[in-house]
């Protein structure tokens, strides 16, 4: 699985990040796993056509010393569909900017 990982959190940063994720992203129902909804304007052509599969998400897993984001764009509505695919370069860059913005908001140096 392709992932974007930020690790080696300092003492106290995990709690700040968890609070931010709890407040700003959708919990998956599994501890430490969050859904980051992809903006509509970032969808590729196939994803735009699959209205029954929307919304699309990245999965992010928070652990005590790291956060890892899958670079797979998924839907919660289906397990298999041709609209589920690895992120395009613009989608990947969107996710990285989203993570960078979160850490900037929390005044955490990455």
Distance CA(4)–CA(12), nearest Å, equals 22
Tens digit of each residue's pLDDT (9 = 90 or more) over 33-57: 999 999 999 999 999 999 999 999 9
User: What fold characterizes domain 3-105?
Assistant: Alpha-D-Glucose-1,6-Bisphosphate; Chain A, domain 4 (3.30.530)
In this prediction, residue 110 carries a pLDDT of 75
- Tell me the C-alpha to C-alpha distance, in Å, between residue 12 and each of 59, 76, 105: 23, 32, 15
The full set of domain ranges for the chain reads 3-105
Tens digit of each residue's pLDDT (9 = 90 or more) over 59-78: 999 999 999 999 999 998 88
Mean pLDDT of 76-99: 94
Other CB atoms within 10 A of residue 88 CB: 15
- 5 three-state secondary structure: strand
Task: Determine the Cα angle at 79 with ends 78 and 83, to 5°.
Answer: 70
Above 80 in pLDDT, residue 6?
yes
Query: Structure pTM?
Result: 0.91
Average pLDDT, the chain: 94
Give burial (CB, 10 Å; 0-12/13-18/19+) of 1.
exposed
Cβ 66 vs Cβ 18: under 8 Å: no
């Amino acid at each position: 699985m392709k992932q974007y990982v930020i690790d080696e959190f300092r003492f106290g940063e995990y709690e700040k990040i968890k609070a931010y994720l709890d407040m700003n992203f959708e919990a998956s129902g599994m501890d430490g796993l969050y859904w980051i909804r992809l903006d509509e304007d970032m969808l590729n052509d196939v994803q735009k056509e699959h209205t029954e599969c929307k919304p699309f998400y990245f999965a992010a897993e928070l652990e005590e010393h790291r956060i890892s984001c899958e670079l797979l764009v998924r839907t919660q509505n289906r397990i298999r569909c041709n609209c589920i695919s690895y992120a395009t370069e613009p989608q990947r860059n969107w996710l990285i900017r989203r993570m960078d913005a979160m850490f900037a908001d929390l005044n955490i140096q990455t």
